[in-house]
Amino acid sequence: MTQALLLLPLAAGLAAFLIRGDGARRTLLVWTARLHFLLAALVIYDAVSGGRVSALLPPAGEAVWFSFDSLGLLFLGVTSLLFLGASHYAVNYLASEKRDPGEDSDEGFIFNNAPEAVFTGCLLLFLSAMTAVTASRHMGLLWASVEATTLLSAPLIYFHRHKRSLEATWKYLLICSVGIALALMGNLFLGAAGLKSGAGLDLKALLLSAGALDKPLLKAAFLFLFVGYGTKMGIAPFHTWLPDAHSEAPAVVSALLSGALLNCAFLGILRVSAVCASAGLADFTGGIMVLFGLFSVVTAALFMLGQRDYKRLLAYSSIEHMGIMAMGAGLGGGAVFAALLGALSHSLAKAGLFFTSGMVLAAEKTKRIADVKGLWRRAPRTAALWLAGFFLITGTPPSGVFLAKFIILKEALALKHYWLAGTFLVFLAILFAGMARIFISMTFGERDAKPDEKPFEEQSGMLAPAAAFFVCVILAGLYLPDWLQSLLAGAAANVGGRP
Amino acid sequence: MHTFAELTIVFIILMDLALAVTGSLSSCIRLVALQGVVAGVLPLLAGHGAPHLRAVAFAAVIISLKGVIFPWLLMRARDRSGAGKDVEPLISYPASIMLCLGAFIASSWLGSRLPLPEANVAWIVPASLATIFTGFLLITTRRKAITQVLGYLVIENGIYIFGLALFVEQPMMVELAILLDVFVAVFVMGIAIFHISREFDHIDTAELSELSDWRRGEYGK
């Protein structure tokens, strides 16, 4: 099963480069996504229904490259579901891009798109690399997979071939590659910490022999891995590539970057913090994660207030949520559960919002917030989704995001971190107010009369994935089914250091 | 055997300093390639007794990648992008070399402070850290996109040497996966440089500054 999950998108991705017909290639994209989702659902069902998550893991002492624990399964499920939605959005998007050639929304010049075969191929290979991240049982392999996601997604950001997307791609490639190089240093420190106990970099061996690891080296390893994967995850102050890449990439790519890729980097941090937790360093790692998490929330809030581009706004909202997730994971206890629930809800809500932002861009032909007013008159269904997405992402109940934020706040108070809870709450309020002003003026503001404007046709195929994701986020806030609850609890136990 | 390895380390440090002062782009590319090859040979020299077949095969892969394929890709990117011959640093060469020397002193101090297992080759930890610093220096103080890729490769060389110092032996599959990533990274960056030169008529990264939060939004209006 695990092999099939990895090889299916890999093979399909390679095939996509060779297929000439657009129709056949799009069919391949959608069906690979469906099959991948089906396989992922089967693996998760199999594991959860019999309480057999631990049975999936190799027996002690046996080194296996790829296998799933609860944490891996959770992120696999999110990635696969997200890709399913993205593939359905993408085929409609690609068809509409073929119909009218690209005219830049802001500067008005004409540009070409990258060949569709390259785009589709990279999308599928990107899925394969993300699957490898969720399945890796070896820290070296995890590193290689995370770096592969960077390289495979860079061509996706440069789909619209013009100056700004190229600048974003270059920054993304360079900042993330150098960041990830630091994570490689971290891996070396981790290996050195386990030299005496002979743990190597195998995750299970590291967890089981955590007590014997060299503590100062383990701390150094965590710092390097946190900065390295934190760069990729968008933790402030290492986030500088993120708003550029998210604003210049096509909406479907932004959705995947925000919803799936950032999670993969977060998984890298969770893996090493689990090792540290079982070595008794939970206070050290927790403190760092809470500090940088809170800093990310503050940074995001400040940059959002004066924001003029709505896709950059969404990117900063991702930085905020990455901060919240890091805080939750750092606080420990019940907050870890909340951080994982937050990861799930944020992925779905943010992907839905990015899908919708693509529709807003198609309707209004601009990314400037000030130029979009009264969206509901031009595209009522898009406007409804845009507003719904805003409420869900800012954590208005009933939303999974609300539940996550609420539990993290509660845990912070229970641990008597009053300053932390207070600052967190203040900046959440600033974020809500800042975003509310922008979303409401975009949706309801007085529309400027543009007499020569053609009516905009809202494509249901592009609205449906966003709507479906929003429904999932609401459901996650109202009721967590038993299987999801046990998966989240198992994943939280993995973060706490259970092998 | 170890004197050879120690000589190699000295050689690597000298190459860091040379990179800081070299003004010709093609010499920089050759220096980085040479450093990669020397780093690739190092494990064969540092080991006890006759080298293992696996180690030899792996060294061969590294040498052909870093010594032949990367310089070829980068030279091609340089020619096709019409990058000109000079490195065009943002700071003067004396300042570069002072920074590099400073980094080396800091690395020696850091190397003695780190609670690392005793290395069997003297100076290997400071040399690796100094190489990593040199890579960062190239990335931050040179204008051209190509020198940033070179900086990335120098960092990669430094990390590789650091790994040798710590005796962290990763399984062959992981090592190969890492090398494959580095290869694809250089390949993709080479393509990106080509596109940058075509789109902007230069590969000066200091001019890649249209995307930001504060000045943004005024373009084209």
CB A255 within 8 A of CB A351: yes
Which residues, listed in sequence order, are joined to residue A113 by a DSSP beta bridge?
Answer: A160
Which H or E run contains A161?
A: strand A160-161
Chain A residue numbers with beta carbons less than 8 Å from the beta carbon of B139 are: 174, 178
Residues 227-256 of A with CB under 8 A from B: 243-244, 247-248
Chain B residue numbers with beta carbons less than 8 Å from the beta carbon of A224 are: none
B8 touches A at CB < 8 Å: no
Phi, psi (deg, nearest 5) at residue A435:
-70, -35
The C-alpha atoms of residue B59 and residue A469 are separated, in whole angstroms, by 49
The C-alpha atoms of residue B156 and residue B151 are separated, in whole angstroms, by 9
B14 touches A at CB < 8 Å: no
Chain B residue numbers with beta carbons less than 8 Å from the beta carbon of A178 are: 136, 139, 152, 155
Q: Do A151 and B185 touch (CB under 8 A)?
A: yes
CB A353 within 8 A of CB A85: no
Min Cα–Cα distance to chain A from B144, Å: 12
Q: Do A306 and B214 touch (CB under 8 A)?
A: yes
Sign of CA dihedral A340, A342, A348, A353: negative
A140 touches B at CB < 8 Å: yes
In the structure, how many helices (H) and strands (E) does chain B have? Answer: 8, 0
Q: Any residues with CB less than 8 A from the CB of B14 and at least 6 apart, and which?
A: none
A215 touches B at CB < 8 Å: no
The C-alpha atoms of residue B31 and residue A292 are separated, in whole angstroms, by 38
The C-alpha atoms of residue A144 and residue B56 are separated, in whole angstroms, by 23
Q: Which of A167, A195, A217 sits opposite B167 (nearest CB)?
A: A195
Min Cα–Cα distance to chain A from B208, Å: 6
HSE of B135, CA atoms in CB hemisphere, 13 A: 28
Question: pTM here?
Answer: 0.92
Task: Parse chain B into domains and list their residue ranges.
Answer: 2-207
pLDDT value at position B49?
A: 62
B170 touches A at CB < 8 Å: yes
Q: Do A158 and B192 touch (CB under 8 A)?
A: yes
pLDDT of chain B, 221 residues: tens digit per residue? 567 778 888 889 999 999 988 888 889 999 999 999 998 888 887 666 666 787 888 888 889 999 999 999 988 888 887 767 777 788 888 888 888 889 889 988 888 877 777 766 778 888 899 999 999 999 888 888 888 899 999 999 999 888 888 776 777 777 878 888 888 888 888 888 878 877 777 767 777 777 776 554 444 33
Q: pLDDT tens digits, residue range A13-24?
A: 999 999 888 889
Phi, psi (deg, nearest 5) at residue A243:
-60, -35
A177 touches B at CB < 8 Å: yes
B110 touches A at CB < 8 Å: no
Angstrom CA distances, B91 to A100, B141, B142, stand at 47, 6, 8
Phi, psi (deg, nearest 5) at residue A328:
-60, -45
The C-alpha atoms of residue A314 and residue A321 are separated, in whole angstroms, by 11
Q: Do B159 and A181 touch (CB under 8 A)?
A: yes
The C-alpha atoms of residue B89 and residue B141 are separated, in whole angstroms, by 6
Q: pLDDT tens digits, residue range B188-209?
A: 888 888 788 777 777 677 777 7
Task: Parse chain A into domains and list their residue ranges.
Answer: 2-495
Which residues, listed in sequence order, are joined to residue A103 by a DSSP beta bridge?
Answer: A110
Which of A163, A313, A369 has the most B C-beta neighbours within 10 Å, making it the best mutation to test the interface with B?
Answer: A163
Q: Which of A34-43, A59-68, A122-131, A218-227 has the lowest mean pLDDT?
A: A59-68
B73 touches A at CB < 8 Å: no
Measured between its terminal Cα atoms, the distance across chain A in Å is 21
CB A294 within 8 A of CB A323: yes
The C-alpha atoms of residue A174 and residue A164 are separated, in whole angstroms, by 16
Residue B11 neighbours by CB distance under 10 Å: 14
Chain B residue numbers with beta carbons less than 8 Å from the beta carbon of A170 are: 145, 192, 196, 205, 208
